[in-house]
Amino acid sequence: MNKALFLDRDGVINVDKGHVYLREQFEFNEGIFDLCRKYLEQGYLIIIITNQAGIAKGYYTEADFLELTEWMVKEFEDKGIVISKVYYCPHHPDITGPCTCRKPEPGMINQAVREFDLNISNCILAGDRESDLEAGRRAGIPEENLILFCP
What pLDDT score does 1 carry?
79
The reply to whether 10 belongs to the active site is yes
Angle, nearest 10°, between helix axes 130-139 and 107-116?
Answer: 50
Tell me the C-alpha distance between 105 and 138, whole Å.
7
CB 132 within 8 A of CB 138: no
pLDDT at 18: 92
115: domain CATH number is 3.40.50.1000
> What is the distance between the alpha carbons of residues 97 and 34, in angstroms, rounded to a whole number?
38
Q: Which amino acid is at 9?
A: R
- Is residue 79 situated within a structural domain? yes
8 Å CB contact between 32 and 12? yes
Residue 55 lies in a domain: yes
| pLDDT confidence of residue 147 | 96
Cα separation, 43 vs 28, in Å, equals 23
Task: For residue 85, tell me if it sits in a domain.
Answer: yes
Q: Is residue 67 part of a domain?
A: yes
Range of the domain at 51: 36-100+107-125+141-151
From first to last of the 151 residues of the chain, give the pLDDT tens digit: 799 999 999 999 999 999 999 999 999 999 999 999 999 999 999 999 999 999 999 999 999 999 999 999 999 999 999 999 999 999 999 999 999 999 999 999 999 999 999 999 999 999 999 999 999 999 999 999 999 988 6
Annotation says 64 is catalytic: no
Number of domains in the chain: 1
Q: Is residue 84 part of a domain?
A: yes
Name the catalytic one among 8, 78, 117, 128: 8
Q: How far is CA 147 from the centre of its chain?
A: 13
Please indicate, yes or no, if residue 29 is contained in any of the structural domains: no
Contact between 64 and 90 (Cβ < 8 Å): no
